Amino acid sequence: MNRLKFWLELTMTISFAILVGIILEGVVYLIFRGQSLEQFSLSWIQLLSIVLTGAVCSVPTVIWLSDNDIPRNKFIVQLIIHCIGLYAIVAVFGRIFNWYSQAKGFIMLTVIYFMVYVFVWLVSLWFHKREDSKINKALDDIRDEE
C-alpha cells in the first residue's frame, strides 16, 4: 500500500477515534457528575490538536510497523515499544493543548488512549483483511479466465 495513503488512512482513523473518545469522556462526565450538556464544547484549536495528534502518531506507524516480513516475537516487541512511544506523544500533546490539568484528567486521557489504540488496530486489521480479500478475489478471477 502506498505510504502516503496509509498515513492518511491512519491519520483519519486515529483522529476519529480520539474525537469519539473525547465525546465518550463528555458523556461519562454528563452521567456521573451531573454536568449539563451545555458545558461540553470543543474549540477549533482542540479540533486542530486532534487532527495534528492523529497525523503525528501516524508517522511512526508508517515508518516502523509497515514491514510485514519480520518474525512474530520481534513484531510483538516493536508493537509494545510503538504503543509506549505513541502514549508519550499523546501525553505530551495532551499537556501542550491542555487536554488535562489534573491527575484525574490524565487518568482519563490514559484510558481513552488505550481505547483508541485498540480501536485503530482493529480498524486497520479490518481494512487490510478487506483489501486482501479483494486482491485474492481478483487473483481467483484471473485464474478462472485462464
The residue-averaged pLDDT of 30-35 equals: 76
pTM of the model: 0.72
Question: Could you read off the pLDDT of 59-92 as tens digits, one per residue?
Answer: 888 877 666 677 888 888 888 888 999 999 999 9
- 127 or 145, greater pLDDT: 127
Q: Which domain holds residue 124?
A: 3-145
Q: What does the DSSP 8-state code read for residue 34?
A: -
Domain count, the chain: 1
How far is CA 44 from each of CA 30, 48, 54, rounded to the nearest angstrom? Answer: 22, 6, 15
CA distance 3 to 123: 17
